[in-house]
């Protein structure tokens, strides 16, 4: 299966390798709300196989993916696979793309916005992996909106702090109330016993590299695509 060089990779106990690519503007718009032929062409230029992706609804649905393209376009906010050569993906503009890794041979990707976090999307994703005997021990936190650029309503921040504590409350560069979204994800992960965290500490306010709905009302999306690479796989 031809693919781009991964942004991050991890070798599991069975000798296979989990690979992640965090895309940016240079990869093109990966929003699912576009012509399907264009979307497929852009996806396959990154990983040359059918991708599984979801209609993300800021809730807690977790889908199991067993073969390429399965459940494509169905509603949910997390998806996992144990199988090799099965690309799964999450699309984001400002929300956090999170990868949960089990060294025993499982990968789960999570779309983590504030509503999904409050509703327990991380909890549900971790539980899905535990149910199959593959508890995640490592998480990768991708580029997302940072508090310096993310003004937030008082009622909403109270909802988040009621679940995750006051440490996620922050301020923008102008001194307005803000949510520290990556910190919220970290708290959710640690609450689920995941201590090994890998951070791609980039903010989607960077207009040269990322799209942002919060700041610029852009409809385009970047993505994280992940897959489990067999020993015979390669990249270009």
Domain membership of residue 179 (yes or no) is no
Which residue, chain included where needed, has tokens 């999570």? Answer: 110
| DSSP assignment of 158-178 | HHHHHHH-GGGEEE-TTS-EE
- Evaluate whether 142 touches 224 at the Cβ level (below 8 Å): yes
Q: What is the pLDDT of residue 58?
A: 97
Contacts of 31 (CB under 8 A, 6+ apart): 39, 91, 219, 220, 221
221 burial level (CB within 10 Å; 0-12, 13-18, 19+): buried
Range of the domain at 118: 8-148+197-229
Q: What is the C-alpha to C-alpha distance for residues 107 and 102, in angstroms, rounded to an integer?
A: 7
Residue 92 lies in a domain: yes
Decide if 28 is inside a domain: yes
Would you say residue 174 lies in a domain?
no
Per the domain annotation, does 76 fall within a domain?
yes
For residue 232, what pLDDT is reported? 67
CATH number (domain holding residue 95): 3.60.140.10
137 is a domain residue: yes
User: What tokens does 14 get?
Assistant: 């069975």
Q: Report yes or no on 108 lying in a domain.
A: yes
The pairing of strands 196-199 and 138-141 is parallel
Give the pairing type, strands 96-102 and 138-141.
antiparallel
- Other Cβ atoms less than 10 A from the Cβ of 190: the count is 12
Task: Flag whether 184 is in a domain.
Answer: no
Total domain count, the chain: 1
CA dist 88 and 49 (Å) reads 10
pLDDT score for 233: 60
Ranges of residues in the chain whose predicted pLDDT is under 70: 232-236
DSSP 76: -
């Amino acid at each position: 299966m031809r693919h781009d060089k991964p942004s991050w990779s991890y070798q599991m106990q069975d000798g296979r390798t989990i690979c992640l690519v965090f895309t940016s503007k240079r990869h093109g718009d990966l929003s699912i709300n576009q012509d399907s032929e264009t979307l497929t062409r852009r996806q396959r230029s990154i990983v040359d196989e059918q991708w599984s992706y979801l209609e993300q609804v800021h809730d807690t649905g977790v889908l199991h993916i067993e073969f390429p393209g399965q459940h494509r376009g169905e509603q949910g906010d997390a998806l996992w696979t144990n199988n090799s050569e099965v690309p799964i993906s999450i699309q984001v503009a400002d929300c956090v793309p999170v990868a949960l890794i089990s060294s025993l041979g499982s990968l789960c990707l999570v779309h983590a916005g504030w509503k999904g976090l409050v509703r327990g999307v991380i909890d549900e994703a971790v539980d899905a992996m535990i149910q199959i005997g593959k508890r995640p021990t490592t998480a990768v936190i991708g580029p997302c909106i940072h508090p310096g650029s993310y003004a937030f309503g008082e009622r909403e921040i109270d909802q988040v702090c009621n679940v995750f504590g006051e440490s996620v409350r922050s301020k923008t560069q102008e001194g307005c109330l803000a949510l520290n979204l990556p910190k919220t994800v970290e708290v959710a992960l640690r609450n689920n016993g995941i201590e090994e965290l890998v951070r791609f500490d980039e903010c989607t306010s960077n207009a040269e590299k990322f799209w942002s709905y919060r700041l610029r009302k852009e409809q385009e999306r970047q993505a994280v695509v992940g897959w489990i690479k067999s020993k015979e796989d390669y990249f270009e």
